[in-house]
Chain A
Amino acid sequence: MNQVVFIELINPFKDKVFRLAKRLLTSTEEAEDATQEVMVKLWNKKDNLESYNSIEALAMTMTKNYCLDQLKSKRASNLQIVHNNFTDREPQLDKKLEDENSLEWVEKIINELPEQMQLLIQLRDVEQYEFEEIAKIVNMNETAIRVALSRARKKIRESMTNTHLYGTK
């Protein structure tokens, strides 16, 4: 397999890997590093890639494991600087900006969920994988995924209603 074929192979899911890494890790730079790391690992495996059913699922699993490892190794030593610490909370002028702001709220709420839930929301609601594929990536059975996903969605709804009704009650 040469470089061109490899790039073509990874192109369909390269951004998915990046988005998953960005969901789990704290910064865009870290997510870029994770993406690169996963792609290099895939490249090194290139000679026996054919033996995997779905290279995409493999890549997503590798990304998940890599990110969780990163988090585990950093959590002990580092103070987390989350990017939404820097957002300015001034009231927005425009309706459009207000919309964007509420999207930011959703992001913030999702970032506060446990990693497992973030992972499932990312895979299902953002990337729209089938449950069967998610099961392969996260190594859980489909029922457990449905239950966890339901919980995650309800949690988001709960937090959303709290912020939505903020000030009216």
Chain B
Amino acid sequence: MEPNKIEDILEKYFQGETSIAEENQLKEYFSSPNVAQHLEQYKPMFGYFSQAKEQKSTYEIPLLPKSRDKKRNVAWLSIAASAVVLLGIGTYFFVSEQKDTTAVASQTELGTYQDPEEALKATQKALALLSNNVNVGIESVQYIKEYEQSKNKVFKQ
């Protein structure tokens, strides 16, 4: 290819007006061994562009779906965990409530007597217990009476 034509393309190139095909012509020309002396300075530039395109990523893209699976596993795990927690709370309340109802039942049902005589005995016993306790209370009030008497002796009205 004659240098004149290359110079024209080169001029266009620096104006940013070349097409891909023309740029390829330039690359080809500058990679050939017979580059005109005065154009020698552009050689490394186009050489670099061709070389730069050869660079490749050596890195393997990591197996992508695996990370996806992991994410899904975490989701399932959290669902399972929350189910277990809910079940635990549920059974706790259920069991404790059952206990409560039995306790209340045993408190309210005090039992009953079928035989009237036995019932009378039990009632008398209960009443005796009550009156005994009341008498204990009255005995302690006797001291107050004593105090009243001595007060009246001292302070004669």
The chain A residues found within 8 Å of chain B, CB to CB, are 2-3, 6-7, 10, 14-15, 17-19, 22, 31-32, 35-36, 39-40, 43, 99, 102-103, 105-107, 110, 122, 124-128, 130, 145-150, 153-154, 156-157, 160-161, 164
Complex Cα–Cα for A17 and B56 (A)? 10
Pair A36/B62 contact, Cβ less than 8 Å: yes
* Complex alpha-carbon distance, A127 and B27, angstroms: 13
Report the contact-size class of chain B (Cβ under 8 Å from the partner).
20 to 34
| Closest residue on chain B to residue A147 by CB atoms | B16
Main secondary structure, interface of B, reads: helix
Residue pair B53, A35 in contact (C-beta under 8 Å): no
**B48 in contact with A39 (CB, 8 Å):** no
Q: In the assembled complex, which residues on chain B have CB atoms less than 8 Å from the CB atom of A39?
A: 61, 64
Please, which residue of chain B has its CB at the minimum distance from the CB of A126? B52
Partner of A43, one of B16, B20, B43, B64: B64
| CB atoms of A106 and B16 under 8 A apart | no
Summed over the interface, the residue pairs from A and B with CB atoms below 8 Å come to a total of 90
User: In the complex, which residue of chain B has the Cβ closest to the Cβ of A107?
Assistant: B48
Q: Are A160 and B61 in contact, with the CB atoms below 8 A?
A: no
- Smallest CB–CB gap between B62 and chain A, Å? 7
New A-B contacts (7) at CB < 8 Å, excluding given A39-B61, A145-B16: A15-B55, A17-B57, A35-B57, A99-B44, A102-B47, A122-B52, A153-B13
Which residue of A126, A149, A157 contacts B49 across the interface (Cβ within 8 Å)? A126
Closest to B41 in A: A164
Q: Distance (Å) between the CB of A100 and the closest chain B CB?
A: 9
**Cα(A124)–Cα(B59), bound, Å:** 24
